[in-house]
Amino acid sequence: QVQLVESGGGSVQAGGSLRLSCVASGRYVMGWFRQAPGKEREFVAVINSSGGGKAYADSVKGRFTISRDNAKNTVYLQMNSLKPEDTAVYYCAARQNWPAFYSDYERYDYWGQGTQVTVSS
């Protein structure tokens, strides 16, 4: 089983920054999703196995950056200019090859435990 270990969540004021990390036991397509209470799980960002291909949800473009360090088997989500509406549990997810519908959470095979991000106004 692929093990995903997340870290970096916390509580910040609006306009602040956080960096989430996810350590995976191999080189996979990695996605970030988030889920607020009472809402559907929402796509945030995805990166391919080499790190050269990326995509973002419109709601986070220009504020969030996904990257990876394959030597460390780690994927990062740098979150800047955070807004209260970014408050959610953030999950990293993995699959072996690039999905045609990368924003669909059902395309991913492995998931981290989730980390809480809270942004206050």
Q: Alpha-carbon distance 111 to 92, whole Å?
A: 6
The yes-or-no verdict on residue 28 having pLDDT over 80 is yes
Q: Alpha-carbon distance 71 to 117, whole Å?
A: 27
Helix (H) or strand (E) holding 95, with range, is strand 88-95
Give the pLDDT confidence of 6-27 residue by residue, as tens digits: 999 999 999 999 999 999 888 8
The yes-or-no verdict on residue 5 having pLDDT over 80 is yes
Give the pLDDT confidence of 52-82 residue by residue, as tens digits: 999 999 999 999 999 999 999 999 999 999 9
pLDDT at 26: 80
pLDDT at 89: 98
Q: What percent of the chain has pLDDT over 70?
A: 100
Q: What percent of the chain has pLDDT over 90?
A: 93
Q: Alpha-carbon distance 61 to 99, whole Å?
A: 20
Helices then strands, each counted (H, E), the chain: 0, 11
Give me the chain's average pLDDT, please: 95
Per the CB < 8 A criterion, the answer to whether 82 and 14 are in contact is yes
92-97: average pLDDT: 95
